[in-house]
Structure 1
């Protein structure tokens, strides 16, 4: 039976883990291997690791680091960053990574998802969409961006997510740029648009500042992935760095109570 997933998202920048706000001002929060070990102990449902440098710098994935992460990780691992070919995706999966995420490359050539699905299986192909509200006096709706928010694409995010689903994505991750690092809650209106449009599993990222925010997401949308960065690396109003995750009992109660509503 499918159930909600509670997923820490870790950002790689210059070899370390960072957390951003609005995709800006990365703050160092620790060593990636050490973080994986802690999340192992805390029995996280899944772990998402995104290299935010690779695509911007046009470099290939750091296969040596990915191999270390996969060897250490005792939960399903999703890696994204710099993947531009099905061959790279297959190499990453062969290392023991369950899912490979693509963003800018999928927008540039959606058929990449078809090739990846043929190489590693649709269940291992994840498309990440970074979405933010349009700005301007008469602007309405949302826009799709890549390269850490620096490049904007003239595509409707929801319609394009369906195109990526049809191309071969086995999961869509919606990342709210506006909510990134604010810890004020998910954009539920945007999340609902994606959930209603898609048939594949959907994971939402950006804005979670408490377990209550995750419960609200699950209560409104049902069985989805609830992902967060700041929530799992900061503690308290002064945002002291502390890797944390709900206990198994807390997680079970969160999902059970949310799905009852």
Structure 2
């Protein structure tokens, strides 16, 4: 059985770390180098860095920032934000990224997933999808609003068919709230596709990580819990192990 991952997610607004609540309220948390160094000491499985302003500002995540962070980073690194060309991906991989997360361009031009997978391999292409809860249903969220022209489940199946190697599901409704992840959503997505799925959004405790990880997901993305509490990745792994979940 594959061992499951606990993955810190670090958000950037260009050059500083921040944390959002439902992708709206922001709190600045300082230097990304400091954050990366902290996670190095905590022996995390891998790290995800996402520049949440890049697409809105018509740019890709800064490759030189990634170069600086990759030098400090002793774990696999996934980066995303404003990636829209094969050149963007090539630059980021050359600067030290192991995988790239694409989001907006995959909605406007789905074929880009296939183009990127053919050139760089599916293993390094992560499709990051933002989703909001609507009762027991789910909708794609993009540029601050529900994307009515995209069906969430059609999108994840299409992503797999086009060659994405992994899905990152960001639950906007629970983002930053630390009131519990949506186990139902995690299971629904991970049982629908064959590729690995990372669930992120609302994680409230080490035991909550274990609850979400008990589904078919490959990993659990965590942000606020690590930024604002004493909970560590190691405590999460211990909670998973206690629940008989195979953990790295």
CA distance in 2, matches of 1:54, 1:151: 19
Matches within 5 A, 1:152-191: 152-191=147-186
Cα distance change, pair 257–28 in 1 and its aligned pair in 2 (3 A): same
Cross-structure match for 1:241:
none
Q: Which of residues 170, 189, 193 in structure 1 aligns to 2:188?
A: 193
Deviations 1:148-197 (A, max 9, x none): x3362422212211101111110001110110011011111211210110
Deviation at 1:21, TM superposition (A): 0.6
Kept after mapping to 1: 8 A contact 2:179/2:202: yes
Cross-structure match for 2:139:
143
Deviation at 1:133, TM superposition (A): 2.2
Cα distance change, pair 23–174 in 1 and its aligned pair in 2 (3 A): same
When structure 1 is superposed on structure 2, of 86-95 and 191-200 the one drifting more is: 86-95
Deviations 1:199-238 (A, max 9, x none): 000000001011111011112x1452111110110027xx
Deviations 1:229-251 (A, max 9, x none): 10110027xxxxxxx6233xx45
Please say if 1:208 is aligned against 2:203. yes
Gaps of at least 5 residues in structure 2 are: none
CA distance in 1, matches of 2:3, 2:101: 21
When structure 1 is superposed on structure 2, of 156-165 and 47-56 the one drifting more is: 156-165
TM-score between both structures, scaled by the size of structure 2:
0.93
Deviation at 1:20, TM superposition (A): 0.7
- The DSSP-based 3-state class of the residue aligned with 2:174 is coil
Deviation at 1:51, TM superposition (A): 0.1
- The DSSP-based 3-state class of the residue aligned with 1:123 is helix
Q: Which runs of 4+ in 1 moved over 4 A?
A: none
Deviations 1:126-151 (A, max 9, x none): 001100024xxxx862210122x336
Cross-structure match for 2:221:
227
Q: Which of residues 229, 233, 238 in structure 2 aligns to 1:246?
A: 233
CA distance in 1, matches of 2:229, 2:19: 13
Deviation at 1:26, TM superposition (A): 0.8
Gaps of at least 5 residues in structure 1 are: 237-243
CA distance in 1, matches of 2:11, 2:166: 19
